[in-house]
Amino acid sequence: MRPDSLNPLFRPLSALKGVGKAVAPLVEKLVGGDKVVDLLWHLPSGRVDRRFSPPIDDAPDGVLVTLTVTVETHQEPAPRSPAPYRVICRDDTGFVTLVFFRARSKYIQDMLPVGEIRVVSGKMERYGGTPQIVHPTHMVPLAEEETVRRVEPIYPMTQGVAGKVLLRLIGQALAAVPEVPEWQDASLLEREGWPAFNAALTAVHAPLEAEDLAPENPNRRRLAYDELLSSQLALLLVRRAARSVKGRPIKGTGVLRGKVLSALPFALTGAQKRSVAEIDGDMAGDARMLRLLQGDVGSGKTVVALLAALNAVEAGAQAAIMAPTEILARQHLETLTPLCAAAGVRLGLLTGRDKGKARTAILAALVAGDIDILVGTHALFQEDVTFHDLAVAVVDEQHRFGVHQRLALSAKGRAVDVLVMTATPIPRTLTLTHYGDMDVSRLDEKPPGREPADTRALPIERLEEVIAGIQRAISTGSKVYWVCPLVEESETGDMAAAEERHLLLTEMLGPRVGLVHGRMKGAEKDAVMAAFSGDGLDVLVATTVIEVGVNVPSARVMVIEHAERFGLAQLHQLRGRIGRGGGKSTCLLLYASPLGETARARLETMRRTDDGFEIAEEDLRLRGAGEVLGTRQSGMPNFRLCPDPLAVQDLIEIARKDAEVIVARDPELSSPRGEALKLLLYLFERDAAVRTLRSG
Ligand code: ADP
Ligand code: MG
């Protein structure tokens, strides 16, 4: 249970003073949460410094100043005159005019009595040589000057929430923070020069200098590290708990694998062998497997998945292989069918498109154990899908699946081993922060004989030349992908662009040009894809629906239109679709000028390298983590205090090691530091991790 001392922070944010019904949802959206604690993590993005108090004569133009002045005269405009209300003030060096548009005279007269001294703050401007301040933000008697002459944080704002309101709410949230014991290692604090949590939090919300806002600021880094450690510790605790669920040792006989391997027209790469051995080791152990297989497009993950599945089948159990899309599931089935036939292994397919009798028949065969390996899409999670004895689940292209779905699947059998495969090579730091609960295998070696695609960037003005080149490629038997970009704001816009391109290419190249896009029905899509991978079509115009996984060996040319709009990872994935059948392949990146700096760097990276891991690191550098992982689709953990993992890359590694040491030495978090760490876990809402502890 969460300690009482933290409870005030976990009240709904609407319980604070000054949040009306209308404002609460706006604030919640702004700070990304509906609890008081969420306000704490909403850090200032700037500051207003009102400490500069020059004499009037020395006050520079356009600068925020706080002046101490004597009120001299009021110039009230005539009724209904558009002129502003002016108040002339002075100090020893000169005069300043305070200007108010559409102001209530009474209010101004009360605030600025003639002959009195006032401390006023605002932006100094010279209007026709006369110093003036329009709508000063502060006008207080000398006795209250403390309330003015200081620095105030500026927070990221949203429409409908006044800055002052937000400031007051965050003030209340800060006041609700209890004094906490130190959960960080003393030597780390000393080495990094970090203050205690309470001090750091207070300081972060009261930036004085511009440096205080930088990610390198020690207060900010301390808090970022707190969050990172909570995340790494939580991942390790969850991982340990998941593994302590007794799995079942699965040890295949090797008979089916032997048959499949001899039916393969190639030998496994070293990386494939190593990954299979790692998987076998996991499956043979009695803890359950939770392994991530990272491998670039074309690195040969499918075979590894099949071998993992066969291991289970040989042991008399079942396997599931899940793909993120219908097309991919069917493609897997197609690839696996001849191999499984060679070994007498029974394959089944279940997708959202199977309905009625066909579906009932599949489900019946599945529960009876008449299907050994079930290939499918999300449909595999549906509640009425029951396996006879599911031992291993392979989830392909993980970033399209949420963590919840991963869990839902593993709930379908007794301690199901889970192998997650991703074609997005992930930078090491992100692997740690997002898949820290998994073991990792990397397919970092491509099957032999594959030449990297010749990649060129061309301005869209050279479209006709490109089409002529395509004509030549087709005449030598190549197939061509033509990718049109996704315009997020308007799906219909995409369709229109793709349809228009399809029309043009049909005019210039003849009827063997197909079109596939996201709005098409499944069966329609399949028909077009089939025609393209068979011999009905030479060119396939597509929106990014082809991004994931489709395999057409004779496709040797890819044109990507508006390549500047794609992310690096996406470009890399797309390019991986060509040249899969060996031989030379070409990738043309068509861009619209002028190219921005980031876009130029991306295209240059694409030209330079074919190494997915290198591209991933570069992508991270250019874009930031959320986009690399497609955070939004997958509901990945989102860091509040370190939105930019590059700035804290070093800390991620330290946090991982730190967490490993903690779990090794004090696995139940029962030492004094352990108790403090529990508080940390609660503070960052890693309650599930605390619950894995005996004392949790
Ligand atoms: P991924 O799913 O990782 O993108 P695939 O499993 O679809 O890659 O494999 C890509 C292609 O490489 C397929 O045609 C597959 O048959 C072939 N392949 C896989 N492993 C090897 C290997 N060791 N040697 C040669 N070709 C291979
Ligand atoms: Mg694949």
Q: Among residues 303, 272, 332, 294, which one has the least CA distance to residue 569?
A: 294
Q: What is the pLDDT of residues 242-258, one digit of tens each?
A: 777 777 899 999 999 99
pLDDT band at residue 635 using 50, 70 and 90 as cut-offs: very low
Q: How far apart are CA 317 and CA 305, in angstroms?
A: 15
The pLDDT assigned to 631 comes to 38
pLDDT band at residue 608 using 50, 70 and 90 as cut-offs: very high
Q: How far apart are CA 324 and CA 549, in angstroms?
A: 10
The pLDDT assigned to 429 comes to 75
Using a 6 Å cutoff on CB, does residue 579 contact ligand 1? no
Using a 6 Å cutoff on CB, does residue 275 contact ligand 1? no
Pocket test for ligand 1, best of 262, 302, 445, 572 (most atoms within 8 A of CB): 302
330 alpha carbon to ligand 1 midpoint, in Å? 16
| Nearest protein CA to atom 9 of ligand 1, as residue | 300
Q: Which residues surround ligand 2, an ion (CB under 5 A)?
A: 301, 549
What are the structural domains of the chain?
Answer: 51-149 (2.40.50.140), 291-443 (3.40.50.300), 454-629 (3.40.50.300)
Using a 6 Å cutoff on CB, does residue 573 contact ligand 1? no
Q: What percent of the chain has pLDDT over 90?
A: 61
The pLDDT assigned to 411 comes to 65
DSSP states of 590-627: EEPSSPPHHHHHHHHHHHH---HHHHHHHHHHHH-HHH
The pLDDT assigned to 643 comes to 67
Kindly report the average pLDDT of the chain as a whole number. 88
Using a 6 Å cutoff on CB, does residue 306 contact ligand 1? no
Q: What is the mean pLDDT of residues 585-601?
A: 91
β-partners of residue 124 are 133
Pocket test for ligand 1, best of 260, 264, 266, 292 (most atoms within 8 A of CB): 266
The pLDDT assigned to 458 comes to 95
The pLDDT assigned to 413 comes to 67
The pLDDT assigned to 548 comes to 45
The segment with the largest mean pLDDT, out of 88-97, 207-216, 326-335, 423-432, is 88-97
- Specify the range with the lowest mean pLDDT, choosing from 142-156, 591-605, 621-635: 621-635
Does residue 462 or residue 447 have the better pLDDT? Answer: 462
Q: Has residue 88 got a pLDDT over 60?
A: yes
3-class secondary structure, 52:
coil
Closest ligand to residue 298's CA? 1
pLDDT band at residue 546 using 50, 70 and 90 as cut-offs: low
| Nearest protein CA to atom 10 of ligand 1, as residue | 298
Q: Which amino acid is at 690?
A: V
Using a 6 Å cutoff on CB, does residue 298 contact ligand 1? yes
CB contact at 8 A, 235 and 440: no
pLDDT band at residue 260 using 50, 70 and 90 as cut-offs: very high
φ, ψ of residue 203 in degrees (nearest 5): -65, -40
Q: What is the mean pLDDT of residues 276-298?
A: 91
The pLDDT assigned to 383 comes to 80
Q: What is the pLDDT of residues 41-85, one digit of tens each?
A: 999 999 999 999 999 999 999 999 999 999 999 999 998 888 999
Q: What is the mean pLDDT of residues 266-291?
A: 94
pLDDT band at residue 465 using 50, 70 and 90 as cut-offs: very high
The segment with the largest mean pLDDT, out of 234-238, 518-522, 557-561, 684-688, is 557-561
- Regarding beta strands 85-90 and 95-100, do their DSSP bridges make them parallel or antiparallel, or are they unpaired? antiparallel
Q: What is the mean pLDDT of residues 81-91?
A: 95
The pLDDT assigned to 489 comes to 53
pLDDT band at residue 410 using 50, 70 and 90 as cut-offs: low
Q: How far apart are CA 340 and CA 333, in angstroms?
A: 10
Q: Has residue 485 got a pLDDT over 60?
A: yes
Q: Has residue 510 got a pLDDT over 80?
A: yes
The pLDDT assigned to 68 comes to 96
- The number of residues making up the chain comes to 696
- Could you give the angle at the alpha carbon of 13 between the alpha carbons of 9 and 14, nearest 5°? 140
β-partners of residue 290 are 418
Q: Has residue 224 got a pLDDT over 90?
A: yes
Q: Has residue 174 got a pLDDT over 90?
A: yes
The pLDDT assigned to 621 comes to 78
pLDDT band at residue 407 using 50, 70 and 90 as cut-offs: low
Q: Has residue 692 got a pLDDT over 90?
A: no
The pLDDT assigned to 530 comes to 87
Q: Which two tokens stand for residue 191?
A: 């080495």
Q: What is the pLDDT of residues 104-161, one digit of tens each?
A: 999 999 999 999 999 999 999 998 889 999 999 999 999 998 888 889 899 999 888 8
CA of 352: how far to CAs of 327, 601, 695, in Å?
12, 40, 43
CA of 367: how far to CAs of 384, 388, 479, in Å?
10, 4, 42
Q: How far apart are CA 264 and CA 269, in angstroms?
A: 12
Q: Has residue 284 got a pLDDT over 90?
A: yes
Using a 6 Å cutoff on CB, does residue 580 contact ligand 1? yes
The pLDDT assigned to 630 comes to 46
439 alpha carbon to ligand 1 midpoint, in Å? 22
The pLDDT assigned to 398 comes to 58
Please, what is the angle between helix 255-263 and helix 326-343, to 10°?
110
Q: What is the pLDDT of residues 8-39, one digit of tens each?
A: 999 999 999 988 888 999 999 999 899 999 99
The pLDDT assigned to 639 comes to 77
Q: What is the mean pLDDT of residues 663-675?
A: 95
Q: How far apart are CA 229 and CA 683, in angstroms?
A: 12
